[in-house]
A and B are shown apart, each in its own frame.
Chain A
Amino acid sequence: MRTMTFSGAIEDALATAMAEDKRVVIMGEDVQMLRVNLFTRFGKERVLAAPISESAFVGAAVAAAMAGLRPVVEVMLVDFIGVATDALLNHAAKIEAFSGGKWQVPMVVRTACGGGYGDGGQHEQSLWGWLAHIPGLTVVVPSTPADAGGLMLAAIEYESPVIYLEHKLLADYWLDYLGSGGRKTVKYDIPEPGAKGTVPDRWQPLPIGKAVIRRQGVDITMAGVGVGIYRALEAADILEKEGVAAEILDLRTISPLDTEALKESVSKTGRLLVVDEDYRDFGLSGELAARILEARIPVKYERVCTAKTIPYNRELEDQTLPNTKMIVEKARRLIGSYP
């Protein structure tokens, strides 16, 4: 076992993939600096500096993948993906279906997501549910260094387009760049086990579409991804003192969703609390409810999500993004009866 930061693990897994497979290339804005180690090791042909032209280079990555490359294309922050949406919505996601399954698009879109550092609602969104809404896109959201490396490798090996979301509270370099800027005068609620932890000696791809139980319990299932998992774990510690045993399911992949793992846990607990930093309405949280209802599993349900545009003010932001207090309150409501 080795210890690595979240971002170090992604980089290490990428380096492994790039060393083994010449078809793997990185492209994006500022990647020669952001990925300076990979740039130094693999050179400018494999780490391509792109102009601020997301619609062009994400679109180009789609066709490059169709024609044999394995691009890992970077869109700095997922918020900026708006500019490149057509390439994903109408092309990357559609080619395999349109070609009768004969032509695939093995590309990875790597992009940073999430809030909690006061940058405002145009730089802190999650959007995983919004992206997973589109058939043909696979969306993964790792929450630990081990998963970050394993899922990156899996994403590169996957035959269809994968959106790989890297939370900024876990990725130290993003937080330094966008948040602290070297300042010691600002503080963030960083989930330490997510930002740094043990990783396997040799990277193995993790199965895409497989959730993992982070904490076992029988009274209530809390499901989510990314930083939400750590907020839920904190809430579970508080609830434990009240005699409530929460089970925490880290979905890891949004689409395809591990419905079996969800059903199994909720069948046992009879209660589902979704913790989702993405927008509440028409997204992941509703989807989880639908899966349980479709399976005719009796359930009491609540959700803690982001319901509106993320405000710049730090306190308002903390009240807008899912936090431990809200999770505990909603869990208590589920454990009692609905008021």
Chain B
Amino acid sequence: MKTDLWYLYEHMLRSRLFEESVTQAWYDGRISGEMHLSTGEEAIVAGTVLQLQGGDAMALDHRGTSPLVMRGVDLVLLFREFLGHPEGLCAGKGGHMHLFSKEHLAASSGIVGASGPAAAGFALAARYLRPGNVALAFFGEGAMNQGMMLESMNLAVAWNLPVVFICKDSKWAITTVSASVTGGSLVERARSFGMPALEVDGADVENVQTVAHEALARARNRKGPTFLYAPCVHPEGHLLGDPLLRIARHPLKEMGKVAGPLLKSVTRAKGSSVTKRTGGIGAVTSLIGKTTKMNILPQKDPLKVVRKNLQREKSRLRKLEDKVSEEIRVAVTTAMLSSETIERKGDLS
């Protein structure tokens, strides 16, 4: 296990800067559809993925970018995929929710909970074909209520599969505060399947790494699955352009769109009592308030947490940051240029 903070920070920064470029391209309209970032999850990803070996597998959710970047997938291929480029990682056919890299045994899914069964299957294949290899499952706390996820945990225990279940708890599933639709504690729930369930601060990469090391060792030594529970924040909300964040950031402009019909529904005749109805508005504004809070928690930013410890060596830090920025700039420019060439060819034909 490489515990060097500089090494961990470099990977986390590469992932963050890559996703910042993705964000820009998305706002520029060069990426279509939804875009779920993995920013805020970098410590969890670095603490686990950087310990993987050749032949290990990853089952990813809709935030697969960071795990793929840290696993070493070619950044140009990845960026091209987001642009829908025919020479992207998946020939432009998958997009950010459907990223696949066969050589890395990494598969994502936009179906919440699907990483559970996928990790179990990867682990099963590993047991027959690649003893000592493992499979990681990444998913959010919302996926802990999906039947197939819970069934996979039981399956992994029953079959003693080398899986590490990594639950990234951002507290939110789109606009729902997950605790409001979840019974009991997730850690206890996982433990009750008969596997160790370990809790760790998802903003603290060193701690994640230590705990993950233990989980991976268990899996590699045929001792079965482990559940890792790591709280984290999503500074961009659920997806880019998150409506709740839009309202929180530009209340006057965006709230107007919601407030009109909302107020109308409070004054309508039949329905529940007026106090209950104004309660509804309260619930909505309180959600928006919570979103704002989620958005302004810099001390939870895993990059800032590591960086603080590296600031002693200012010039080394600057050099590292310059190097990684340049690497991302080159990769993104290369990806963008190749896609422009294709667009121009398209114009001619």
Contact = CB atoms under 8 A, between A and B. Distances in A.
Contacts of A32: 175-176, 283
Interface in B150-192: 173-176, 178, 180-182
A313 to B, nearest CB: 4
A156 to B, nearest CB: 16
B97 A177 contact: no
Nearest to A38: B265
A148 to B, nearest CB: 16
Contacts of B266: 40-41
A55 B142 contact: no
A41 B277 contact: yes
Interface in B251-301: 254, 258, 261-262, 264-266, 268-272, 276-277, 279-281, 283-284, 287
A82 B94 CA distance: 19
B33 interface: yes
Among A46, A49, A312, the one with the most B-chain Cβ atoms within 10 Å of its Cβ is A312
Nearest to A77: B110
A220 B219 CA distance: 64
A80 B113 contact: no
B284 A40 contact: yes
A8 B28 CA distance: 30
A59 to B, nearest CB: 10
Among B109, B111, B148, B269, the one with the most A-chain Cβ atoms within 10 Å of its Cβ is B111
Contact of A43 (B110, B239, B243, B272): B272
A260 interface: no
A121 interface: yes
Nearest to B253: A182
B112 interface: yes
Interface string A32-75: 11101111111111100111111110000000000000000000
Contacts of B146: 52-54, 83
Contact of B265 (A37, A52, A180): A37
Q: How large is the interface on A (under 10, 10 to 19, 20 to 34, 35 or more residues)?
A: 35 or more
A52 B145 contact: yes
Interface in B22-43: 26-29, 32-35
Interface in B2-28: 26-28
B72 interface: no
Among A19, A42, A51, the one with the most B-chain Cβ atoms within 10 Å of its Cβ is A51
Contact of B95 (A34, A45, A119, A179): A119
A119 B32 contact: yes
B261 to A, nearest CB: 5
Contact of A311 (B93, B143, B262): B93
B277 A40 contact: yes
Contacts of B35: 181
B147 A316 contact: no
Contacts of B240: 181
Contact of B92 (A41, A181, A311): A311
A185 B31 CA distance: 10
A122 B64 CA distance: 15
Given A52-B146, A182-B246, A122 B283 contact: no
A69 B147 CA distance: 24
B112 A19 contact: no
Nearest to A40: B280
Contact of B182 (A20, A51, A54, A56): A51
B253 to A, nearest CB: 9
A41 B265 contact: yes
Q: How large is the interface on B (under 10, 10 to 19, 20 to 34, 35 or more residues)?
A: 35 or more
A314 B84 contact: yes
B279 A179 contact: no
A30 interface: yes
Nearest to B278: A40
B137 to A, nearest CB: 15
A52 B95 contact: no
A176 interface: yes
Interface string B207-251: 000000000000000000000000000000001111110100000
A33 B284 contact: yes
A310 B269 CA distance: 45
B277 A120 contact: no
Nearest to B150: A53
A316 B92 contact: yes
A117 interface: yes
Interface in B110-166: 110-113, 142-143, 145-148
B104 interface: no
A157 interface: no
Nearest to A11: B261
A116 B32 CA distance: 10
Contact of A185 (B27, B111, B182, B281): B27
A36 B279 contact: no
A177 B175 CA distance: 12
B98 A43 contact: no
Given A178-B34, A180-B241, A313-B86, A43 B147 contact: no
Given A83-B148, A180-B241, A185-B27, A40 B262 contact: yes
Nearest to A312: B95
B147 A178 contact: no
A118 interface: yes
Contacts of B93: 309, 311-313, 316
Contact of B239 (A18, A42, A52, A181): A181
Contacts of B84: 118, 312-316
Given A181-B241, A314-B32, A19 B271 contact: yes
Q: 6 tightest A-B contacts by CB?
A: A181-B241, A118-B32, A185-B29, A312-B95, A40-B280, A313-B84
6 contacts: A29-B173, A32-B176, A40-B262, A40-B277, A52-B142, A311-B92
Interface of A: 8, 15, 18-20, 29-30, 32-34, 36-46, 49-56, 79-80, 82-83, 117-123, 176-183, 185-186, 309, 311-316
Given A43-B276, A79-B110, A182-B241, 16 more contacts: A15-B268, A19-B271, A29-B173, A29-B176, A36-B262, A40-B280, A41-B272, A41-B280, A43-B280, A52-B145, A55-B147, A117-B32, A118-B33, A120-B95, A123-B97, A178-B34
